[in-house]
Amino acid sequence: MNKLFATLIIALTMACSTAKPKNEGWVQLFNGKDLKDWTIKIKGFPLGENYLNTFRVEDSLLKVRYDGYQKFDNHFGHIFYKHSYSHYKIRAEYRFVGEQAPGGPGWAFRNSGIMIHGQSARSMELDQDFPVSIEVQLLGGNGKEERSTLNLCTPGTNVVMNGQLWTQHCTNSTSKTYHGDQWVTVEVEVRGDSIIRHTIDGQTVLEYTQPQLDERDANYQKLLPADKSKLLKKGTISLQAESHSIDFRKVELLNLGDYCEEE
């Protein structure tokens, strides 16, 4: 096999498939048994190291736990699914439980997220807090104040909202507040670099377009593709560990278009 042919094979293997997806319906990304097909990256630790068993599977739930921590120490964590996707719907069922880890930041109380259109886990720096991505923020109430969920946060990214470039880091949705340890089901529709919709209880609570890299971010040049387009057409999916215990009962995906091989 000559070098040119080998290079072409590698490129095709890593590229997105543009064929129409098989009609598989909703596919379970979390199998309820183990963390197969997921990769862990925790700030300050090498790729794949599950520091103090932060991510675990118990009672058929994907759990984030801090019982082994004496102090959180900004060890923000993410667990990445093995494939990247471009056009899809993702649905998750989650609940916040217990207390926040000692030393967790105040804003991270009952705070987690589904990161979409993200960079690959292996491209993250050792001490990087969050993957460059679009964060679908998951928040729980404190039993008193109003606090929406399915908000938008933009680590290393921007979006367009109401026809204007939106550079505000976090934007609240119009959802109601979900207090206590109740299960909450959320859904996100992702259409490549066009529209993204956050939905809960059958209602769209946030909508925006043109997800893109932020030129101000330290990772901008590293992540800018060869065609120099800032628009994010695809990316990884990951779940957050931000210092408060959370359970995921279901994480499922409906493929609406192309997908990419393992990141």
Q: The CATH number of the domain where 55 resides is what? A: 2.60.120.560
| Domain that includes residue 36, residue range | 27-262
Question: Is residue 242 pLDDT above 50, yes or no?
Answer: yes
Q: Is residue 3 part of a domain?
A: no
- pTM over 0.75? The answer is yes
Q: Is residue 213 part of a domain?
A: yes
Number of domains present in the structure of the chain: 1
Q: Is residue 13 part of a domain?
A: no
Distances (CA, A) of 255 to 24, 29, 32, 91, 247: 8, 12, 20, 12, 24
For 93, list phi and psi in degrees, rounded to 5. Answer: -115, 125
Q: Is residue 74 part of a domain?
A: yes
The H or E element that residue 100 is part of is: strand 87-100
Q: Is residue 5 part of a domain?
A: no
Q: Is residue 207 part of a domain?
A: yes
| Contact residues for 214 (Cβ-Cβ < 8 A; gap 6+) | 154, 156, 157, 158, 167, 220
Q: Is residue 19 part of a domain?
A: no
pLDDT tens by residue, 100-159: 999 999 999 999 999 999 999 999 999 999 999 999 999 999 999 999 999 999 999 999
Q: Is residue 39 part of a domain?
A: yes
The token pair at 15 is 């590229």
| Contact residues for 77 (Cβ-Cβ < 8 A; gap 6+) | 40, 41, 42, 43, 51, 54, 55, 64, 240, 241, 242
User: Terminus-to-terminus CA distance in the chain, angstroms?
Assistant: 25
